[in-house]
């Protein structure tokens, strides 16, 4: 299946000026190994693949006390290939198994930057967060791979023509026909069933969109695999239990009327200091996305973050619905009651994050709440998420009156449109992928 990160991999390959080893992070089973493998096979004449979970030779080599030059020479012998040969790439999977090898990426960058190396691994982010070794800051290019967004889902479902039409309608604020609108909403609800995990999407593609033939056990099995992997990267069983408690509380947290994460929802007697490391673990593993509350929606948003208040979203809408044990029929018929809005908001968070948007939100003494704030060339743009067609926007009206943004965005099940009087751009839930990140403000 096509993944949009592929173009970023090609860009990395073609960068001759600032060549660095590449490290790809992302939640487990998001398709990192598959897409990197495909990229290496299609773009290099010589391709060497090493999985550190399957072979200890490289781990043992880099634990030795040889110099970096000596290790590099012996690495080529172990691989049985001269990785300095032109048009060659080395893909080291599960690199989190060797802290010394990760540290050695600095040497590759400084002394052998003509050598193309890609690294990835399950829970690599956790390893980087928790290890005390010297990470080669500034010597590695890092990419984060998310589950498939809705656009990638549409590509997998052979709906490229629909994608083009939606992008055109988004850019021109032009409605699509009722038939197209209903078709796109139906595909959106199909996506809520599968989420963006490639195995889950592939199963729906194989079933040709027939939800009766879709294997509902896939997402629950993926969730089980998350916690099975966890045992390798926690201090003890007690820490694992705390992480599971935090994660399992998230559906309840999302329904919290205070619009913030509360430790009391994890455990009635819980204190922040007792669960801070659990939160760090979940964020480092990319199993959750954090959205920060800002006190004032001004540039730069990061400068006005309230560090004590935040929200957590699950990394995948399909995983959320699997945890909620929602029936496919109720999802397709939109019979979700209170959680309809929560699921839509989590879905939007997933789509924005996959586009590179940092997640922020604003609220005013619990009387008004803006779901997301986007930092754009037009300033700070408020985004309100509605799960249905309702245009009742009390919170958005409060925000507009108070801060007078250049325009606002309302995401709902309504068709495309633009209210010139209120300066509100209407975007259907199925077109959130059209909201691009402004590179002008990408200072990293």
Burial class (CB in 10 A: 0-12, 13-18, 19+), 200: buried
Residue 158 backbone class (left: φ over 0; alpha: ψ -120 to 50; beta: rest): left
Rg of the Cα atoms in the chain: 23
In angstroms, the CA 115 to CA 42 distance is: 17
Helix (H) or strand (E) holding 309: strand 305-314
Q: What is the CATH number of domain 5-145?
A: 3.40.50.300
- Find out whether 93 and 120 touch, Cβ atoms under 8 Å: yes
CA angle 96, 97, 98 (to 5 degrees): 90
pLDDT of amino acid 8: 96
- Find out whether 89 and 46 touch, Cβ atoms under 8 Å: yes
- Find out whether 90 and 50 touch, Cβ atoms under 8 Å: yes
pLDDT of amino acid 444: 25
In angstroms, the CA 337 to CA 10 distance is: 44
DSSP, res 434: G
In angstroms, the CA 88 to CA 118 distance is: 11
pLDDT of amino acid 440: 42
Note the pTM of the prediction, 2 decimals: 0.93
Q: How many CA within 13 A on the CB side of residue 325?
A: 1
- Find out whether 360 and 311 touch, Cβ atoms under 8 Å: no
pLDDT of amino acid 443: 30
Cα separation values, 128 from 37, 141, 253, Å? 23, 14, 27
Angle between helical axes of 198-206 and 178-194 (0-180°, round to 10)? 120
- Find out whether 297 and 403 touch, Cβ atoms under 8 Å: yes
pLDDT of amino acid 81: 94
Query: Strand 22-26's sheet: what is its strand order?
Result: 46-51, 88-93, 116-120, 22-26, 141-145
What is the per-residue DSSP string for 50-64?
EETTT--HHHHHHHS
In angstroms, the CA 434 to CA 426 distance is: 12
Start-end of CATH 3.40.50.300 domains in the chain: 5-145
In angstroms, the CA 325 to CA 186 distance is: 20
pLDDT of amino acid 108: 95
**Total length of the chain:** 444
In angstroms, the CA 323 to CA 345 distance is: 16
In angstroms, the CA 218 to CA 366 distance is: 38
Structure tokens at 225: 């695999």
Helix (H) or strand (E) holding 339: helix 339-354
In angstroms, the CA 71 to CA 31 distance is: 31
Q: What is the mean pLDDT of each run of 10 residues along the chain (444 residues)?
A: 94 91 94 97 97 94 96 96 96 94 95 95 85 84 96 97 98 97 96 97 92 92 88 82 92 86 84 86 94 95 94 95 92 85 96 96 87 95 92 88 96 96 96 83 32
Structure tokens at 265: 């929802």
Phi, psi values for residue 175, rounded to 5°: -65, 150
Sign of CA dihedral 399, 401, 405, 407: positive
Helix/strand/coil percentages in the chain, nearest 5: 45, 15, 35
Cα separation values, 198 from 28, 118, 183, 278, Å? 11, 21, 22, 27
């Amino acid at each position: 299946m096509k993944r949009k990160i592929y173009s970023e991999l090609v860009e990395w390959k073609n960068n001759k000026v600032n060549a660095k080893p590449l490290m790809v992070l992302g939640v487990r089973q998001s398709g990192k190994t598959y897409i990197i493998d495909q990229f290496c096979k299609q773009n290099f004449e010589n391709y060497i693949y090493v999985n550190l979970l399957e072979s200890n030779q490289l781990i043992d080599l880099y634990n030795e006390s040889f110099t970096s030059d000596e290790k590099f020479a012996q690495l080529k012998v172990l691989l049985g290939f001269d990785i300095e040969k032109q048009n060659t790439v080395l893909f080291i999977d599960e690199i989190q198994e060797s802290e010394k090898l990760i540290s050695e990426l600095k040497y590759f960058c400084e002394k052998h930057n003509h050598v193309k190396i890609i690294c990835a691994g399950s829970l690599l982010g956790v390893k980087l967060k928790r290890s005390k070794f010297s990470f080669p800051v500034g010597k590695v290019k890092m990419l984060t791979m998310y589950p498939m967004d809705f656009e990638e889902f549409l590509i997998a479902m052979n709906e490229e023509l629909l994608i083009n039409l939606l992008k055109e309608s988004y850019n021109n604020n032009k409605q699509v026909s009722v038939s197209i609108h209903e078709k796109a909403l139906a595909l959106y609800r199909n996506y809520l069933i599968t989420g963006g995990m490639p195995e889950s999407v592939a199963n729906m593609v194989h079933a040709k969109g027939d939800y009766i033939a879709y294997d509902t056990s896939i997402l629950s099995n993926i969730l089980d695999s998350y916690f099975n992997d966890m045992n390798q990267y926690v201090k003890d069983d007690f820490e694992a239990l705390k992480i599971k408690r935090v994660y399992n509380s998230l559906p309840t947290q999302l329904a919290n009327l205070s619009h913030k994460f509360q430790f009391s929802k994890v455990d009635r007697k819980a204190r922040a200091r007792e669960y801070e490391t659990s939160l760090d673990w979940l964020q480092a593993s990319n199993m959750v996305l954090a959205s920060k509350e800002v006190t004032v929606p001004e540039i730069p948003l990061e400068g006005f973050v309230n560090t004590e208040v935040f929200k957590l979203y699950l990394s995948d809408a399909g995983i959320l619905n699997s945890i909620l044990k929602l029936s496919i029929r109720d999802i397709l018929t939109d019979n979700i009651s209170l959680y309809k809005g929560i699921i839509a908001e989590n879905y939007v968070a997933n789509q924005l994050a996959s586009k590179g948007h940092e997640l922020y939100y604003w609220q005013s003494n619990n009387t008004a709440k803006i779901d997301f704030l986007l930092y754009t060339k037009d300033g700070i743009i408020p985004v309100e998420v509605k799960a249905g067609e309702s245009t009742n926007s009390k919170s958005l009206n409060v925000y507009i009156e108070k801060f007078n943004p250049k325009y606002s965005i309302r995401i709902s099940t309504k068709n495309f449109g633009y209210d010139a009087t209120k300066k509100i751009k209407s975007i259907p839930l199925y077109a959130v992928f059209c909201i691009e990140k402004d590179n002008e403000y990408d200072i990293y």
